Amino acid sequence: MQTEQIRKDVLFRSEIDQLRNETTHLKANLYSQSHGAIAFTARLSRDVNLAQGQTVVFDKIQLNIGNAYHETYGHFSAPIAGLYQFALTLLNNGNESYFTLVRNGNEPLAASLLQSRFHTCLGCCCSAARSQ
């Protein structure tokens, strides 16, 4: 009986997440059609230690025109076809650090290995296109 309830809870959560994503896309499409702009700026307000493959979820959203950045999951979803540019700055804590910016969960757009006994800062800029 309890296993069945857990299964239902998981299904409901999945459905809720899907509806949230659909709502986000619909809002972004509506906004971009009326305003034509998609942009976000976000940052971390604190240091974070990430596991391999873990997504950085920014906690300070300064700008989210078109609602294309999903602040719960740390994903940007391009709501319309076009060319998108991403710029980021990373600072490691003196340990070896590796980062990858990916598209669609697995396609690398940019990657870098920071090797230093000292704090290292890296700036990166890349572009990605979304077709129809």
Render pLDDT for 100-125 as a digit per residue (tens, 0 to 9). Answer: 888 888 888 777 777 766 555 556 66
* Cα 116 to Cα 119: distance, rounded to the nearest angstrom: 7
Q: Evaluate if residue 127 carries a pLDDT over 70.
A: no
pLDDT tens by residue, 24-82: 777 776 766 656 678 889 999 988 888 888 888 999 999 888 889 999 999 998 888 88
Answering whether pTM is above 0.85, one says: no
pLDDT confidence of residue 66? 84
User: How many helices (H) and strands (E) would you count in the chain?
Assistant: 1, 8
pLDDT confidence of residue 70? 92
* Cα 45 to Cα 50: distance, rounded to the nearest angstrom: 15
* Cα 132 to Cα 118: distance, rounded to the nearest angstrom: 44
* Cα 38 to Cα 35: distance, rounded to the nearest angstrom: 9
Question: Cβ neighbours of residue 35 under 8 Å, at least 6 residues apart?
Answer: 65, 66
pLDDT confidence of residue 132? 60
pLDDT confidence of residue 48? 85
DSSP secondary structure of 35-98: H---EEEEE-SS-----TTPPP--SEEEEEETS-EETTTTEE---SSEEEEEEEEEE--SS-EE
